[in-house]
Chains A and B, each alone.
Chain A
Amino acid sequence: MSKIENKSDNKDDNSKSKEDYDFETNEMTATKIRNVIDGMIHQIENMHQPTFTTKVRGQSNVHFNDRDRILELGDKCTKRSFLNLGHARKFMQTSLILDRCYEYLRNQKTASIREVYYELKRDIAKTKEYTFANQGESNDVIVDVEHAINSIREKLNLQAEPKGALYGDVTLKDMKHDGDEFNCSTLGRGGWSIMSRIEPEEIKILNVNANYLLVVETSAMYNRLIEERFPKKHKCILLSVGGQAARGARRLIHRLHTECKLPVIVFTDGDPYGWYIYSVIKQGSMALAAHSKYLAVPDAKYVGMTISDVETYSLQNVTETLKEGGIKRAKEVMAYPWFSSEEWQTELKTAIKKKIRIEQQALANKSLEFVAEKYLPEKIENKIFLP
């Protein structure tokens, strides 16, 4: 699996950002797929059983890169062979996906991952079996292919559901929609719905007029801040991820940070799940460890909610109980190397000890406007962040 060559190794730091994200074109991706297919054909023609090699995903092959502060996928590979009873079905599925993606790339078409599933679902002659029993199977294989050729799914011309919203003074140009240019502060109260494909050749970021990017967990908070005119008053871009951030949102966050030099501040519920959402945006996820380079923002900062906030802003009577599952999760999170800082350890310990969690919408207890007028401005201005 050849890594994408960095075409501009010797450029200076200023233009580093432009080269960091991949310049991979449809043609380049198509070639990579074709190489895999050709490899298999070569094996078959020489009477060797065809194989498919991809990276091992999962904890055993994921490690934290201290220097770059992102989660990375190791080099462990797994080989799938046609003549292995346990692999045969997956192998068949892989060949189907490879062929389909190649088709899309050649014909400049995109498809949702669900459409791929439907397109490829057929029954296998003389059996009660289907090529794909459910979308989970095809999704898995797509990820396999991604990792095999080291290209993000979007490069394969596949897309998922849109998730998340963007609001603020940022001008985008949609190359696949007649070159549409639009500013996300004039699209109405909802802002722009973030698609799953935010690749540079499709969505260009023309202009940004803001001091920072604020990423919020809940769409309720997103709406609150828009209603309070927060982005305008504080000159920031607002992005809602709607729970665990989807690829598109993460990609966009990454691009806004690297292309436009926007500092990223994350605002989630004060519980292990919220903190994990932050961690994914910051370090990357285990599932997509291979692509952390294009998704992670190691410099992101965390503004809240923290357990210390409860004390600071007298929110004791609006905390929720941290239940069994939450405590377990908190302990897991405590063990991640990227939460090893003293501040985080204290937060987590307190959460476990006091068995509490605090939602971001709980700030409404003070007043609806409190979050937009007091809490956020105070903390952001004074840089009261967690690393």
Chain B
Amino acid sequence: MDKEQEKNVSSDSKTAENKEGVDADVLFTEFRESSVADFFKKNRQMLGLYGKQRTLTTIIHEIVTNSLDACEEAGILPDIEVKVSEIGKEYYEIYVKDNGPGIPENKIGSALGKLLAGTKFHRLVQTRGQQGIGVSGIILFSQITTGKPSKVISGTNNGKTFSLEISIDSKTNSSKIANKHYLDKHYRGLAIKSKFKEIIYKKGQNSVDEYLRRTAISNPHANIKFEDPFGEATIYTRTVKKLPKIPQSVKPHPRGVTVDEMLTFARHSSTRKVSSYLTGTYDRFGQSAVNNVSKLVHFDLNKDPRKLTWDEAEEIVDAIKQTKFIAPNTDNLVPIGDLQIEKSLKSIVEPEFLAVNTRKPSVYHGGYAFQVEAGIAYGGHAGRSVVRSNSKSEDGERETRVSEIIRYSNKAPLLFDAGGCVITKTAQSVDWKRYGISNFDNAPITVFLNLISVHIPYTSAGKSAIADEEEIVNEIKLALMEVARRVGVYIIQKKKDAERQEKRRVFSKYVPYIAEALSSASGCSKENLEKNLLKMVLERLKLDDEQNGFNENKTLKSKLKKDSSKAIVEEAEEFDKENIDEE
């Protein structure tokens, strides 16, 4: 623009000012940069902190997960204590203590006082499904609702045990530490005490109690103790003395990569050519794939990856779509394990019958490896206990058991949004009648399902329900049908046993009367007659069993055991060996 036009513009704008609205300059005087922490303050529902009961459970989830992860990484069997105390209306204090490695003095500020600073964000790894805000987010939330700092005690193997108060400066996203002093007692681990308002402790399906119960189920190697606001304690004792394998990070599979990721990884790459970047960074990306891609793109793959442009990255992603790749490596998935789940469910759920099945890993969406572990606990204390008002009887109330589906993503319990979750939907779509469960909703059954993957497809940012991916639905269904079948066999056998018992009872109870009547009229020995009759009853029952295929079932059962995991048998032997050593 020349000077004259400029003048016109400015005078125009001045007149514009007088004529309509507010000038951008004015508006923008208010403009400030919001920090991560500020954002969090205003958008906490994105991070699962909405709903008073749900918020409390999420808080516990973040801290406990943190402890479990820390212990596992340090090779320590976790001992975790959780305590919730009521201070006032919707005002609670939460205390969590672990026996993990602790946080060193010099790292405490950044570990707990800074949001989004962590080791897990940039790796493709099977993680416990945290929100990602971690303990820092919890500390900030405490501050927001109460204005108070959180109290932390930490002890490591080196150095003294210390205690301090920590809060977060939301504008600078950094920690503020106060009242630091050293403690004489020897302690290794991390203990956090935080106060929160706008939360509620309630018992029931979405409660802290249920969350910790489910956590205990999926972490059989952990000791978990929970004390509720009424002072009642629940203790889950570990049933497995072996630490689970730590999932390693994997190379991403080309199928799932977005343009942004492609570009970002390229920019951070230390290779000299784009082609080497591709083969080095991505799983299953071999020379033939490179050749294919180079044919499809309009630039040279020999160029420096750090100079890759957005358009070029986009071209590569498109080319990938048209290239064939082998399914991703699934070796790095770490399931909880059949035996471990069995021990855990047995100890915590206390059912009559248990069946567990771990499927082989599979792939969804062409690029993400996943694996399904399913278990069914039936009878005994399985299922959820509810008190129903019985309108017929005068007692008014009756305690019955109803079914429960406990869902996990990467070993972390999913408590909310059950209705929208693929696990719930698939479990309910199973034809339970076929397996002898005529009314699934009211059956004493606990269905356990754990989905593990490096990339869990959640339905929303709340991360409480898993989306319907076809391959995942399939695997869940197959896993459930396998365990349901075993439950079915058990139920049928139980019925048969009951019938057998009934028959035996029916016949035996009449024997003395028959013997007496016949002996009285004839003079024959009553004892002899009784003896013979009872013998006949037993023989006849044996005959019935054979005819009804009881023996057939026995062989069927043992066949099942053989088929569905030779591997399990072998693992079991190994497992027991190791356990014995430790004990």
Interface status of B503 (Cβ within 8 A of chain A): yes
Q: Which residues of A contact B507 (CB under 8 A)?
A: 82-83, 88
Determine, out of A95-103, A177-185, A270-278, A287-295, the stretch whose residues face the partner at the interface. A95-103
Q: With A41-B518, A88-B506, A99-B518 in contact, is A83–B537 under 8 Å at CB?
A: yes
**Contact call B532/A82, Cβ cutoff below 8 A:** no
**Contact call A85/B533, Cβ cutoff below 8 A:** no
Q: Which residues of B contact A335 (CB under 8 A)?
A: none
Q: Which residues of A contact B514 (CB under 8 A)?
A: 50, 82, 91-92, 95
**Contact call B521/A103, Cβ cutoff below 8 A:** yes
**Contact call A83/B510, Cβ cutoff below 8 A:** no
Q: With A82-B507, A85-B506, A89-B510 in contact, is A45–B522 under 8 Å at CB?
A: no
Choose among B509, B528, B540 the residue that contacts A83 (Cβ–Cβ < 8 A). Answer: B540
Closest to A92 in B: B510
Q: How far is the CB of B479 from chain A (nearest CB, A)?
A: 40
Q: With A47-B532, A83-B536, A96-B517 in contact, is A41–B522 under 8 Å at CB?
A: yes
Q: For chain B, what secondary structure do more than half of its interface residues adopt (helix, strand, loop), or is it mixed?
A: helix
Q: With A44-B532, A82-B533, A99-B517 in contact, is A124–B522 under 8 Å at CB?
A: no
**Contact call B521/A98, Cβ cutoff below 8 A:** yes
Q: Which residues of A contact B532 (CB under 8 A)?
A: 44-45, 47
Q: Which residues of B contact A315 (CB under 8 A)?
A: none
**Contact call A125/B521, Cβ cutoff below 8 A:** no
- A10-49 residues at the B interface, CB under 8 angstroms: 33-34, 37-38, 40-41, 44-45, 47, 49
The range of chain B's interface size is 20 to 34
Q: Which residues of B contact A99 (CB under 8 A)?
A: 517-518, 520-521
**Contact call A95/B536, Cβ cutoff below 8 A:** no
**Contact call B521/A102, Cβ cutoff below 8 A:** yes
Q: Which residues of A contact B521 (CB under 8 A)?
A: 33-34, 37, 98-99, 102-103
**Contact call A85/B503, Cβ cutoff below 8 A:** yes
Q: Which residues of B contact A47 (CB under 8 A)?
A: 532, 535-536
Q: How far is the CB of B34 from chain A (nearest CB, A)?
A: 76
**Contact call B537/A124, Cβ cutoff below 8 A:** no
Interface status of A126 (Cβ within 8 A of chain B): yes
Q: With A44-B532, A47-B535, A98-B517 in contact, is A125–B524 under 8 Å at CB?
A: no
The number of A-B residue pairs with CB atoms under 8 Å apart is 71
Interface status of A60 (Cβ within 8 A of chain B): no
Interface status of A131 (Cβ within 8 A of chain B): yes
Interface status of B529 (Cβ within 8 A of chain A): yes
Q: Which residues of B contact A124 (CB under 8 A)?
A: 509-510, 513
Q: Which residues of A contact B512 (CB under 8 A)?
A: 125
Interface status of A127 (Cβ within 8 A of chain B): yes
Q: Which residues of A contact B535 (CB under 8 A)?
A: 47
Q: Which residues of B contact A91 (CB under 8 A)?
A: 510, 514
- B500-551 residues at the A interface, CB under 8 angstroms: 503, 506-507, 509-510, 512-514, 517-518, 520-522, 524, 528-529, 532-533, 535-537, 540
CA distance A146 to B403 in the complex (A): 56
Closest to B524 in A: A41
Q: Which residues of B contact A49 (CB under 8 A)?
A: 536, 540
CA distance A294 to B532 in the complex (A): 41
Q: Which residues of B contact A37 (CB under 8 A)?
A: 518, 521-522
Q: How far is the CB of B507 from chain A (nearest CB, A)?
A: 6
**Contact call A41/B533, Cβ cutoff below 8 A:** no
CA distance A82 to B503 in the complex (A): 12
CA distance A50 to B519 in the complex (A): 14
Closest to B539 in A: A47
Q: Which residues of A contact B540 (CB under 8 A)?
A: 49, 83
CA distance A127 to B508 in the complex (A): 12
CA distance A367 to B541 in the complex (A): 73
Q: Which residues of A contact B529 (CB under 8 A)?
A: 41, 44
Q: Which residues of B contact A129 (CB under 8 A)?
A: 509
CA distance A96 to B512 in the complex (A): 11
CA distance A129 to B529 in the complex (A): 23
Q: With A41-B529, A49-B536, A98-B521 in contact, is A127–B513 under 8 Å at CB?
A: no
CA distance A129 to B510 in the complex (A): 11
Q: Which residues of B contact A95 (CB under 8 A)?
A: 513-514, 517-518
Identify 21 residue pairs between A and B in the complex whose beta-carbon atoms are under 8 Å apart, listed by A's number: A40-B518, A41-B529, A44-B518, A44-B533, A44-B536, A47-B536, A49-B540, A82-B510, A83-B536, A88-B510, A91-B510, A92-B510, A92-B513, A95-B514, A96-B513, A96-B517, A98-B521, A99-B520, A124-B509, A124-B513, A125-B512
The list of the 8 closest CB pairs from A to B, nearest first, reads A99-B517, A92-B510, A95-B517, A99-B521, A102-B521, A95-B514, A83-B540, A96-B517
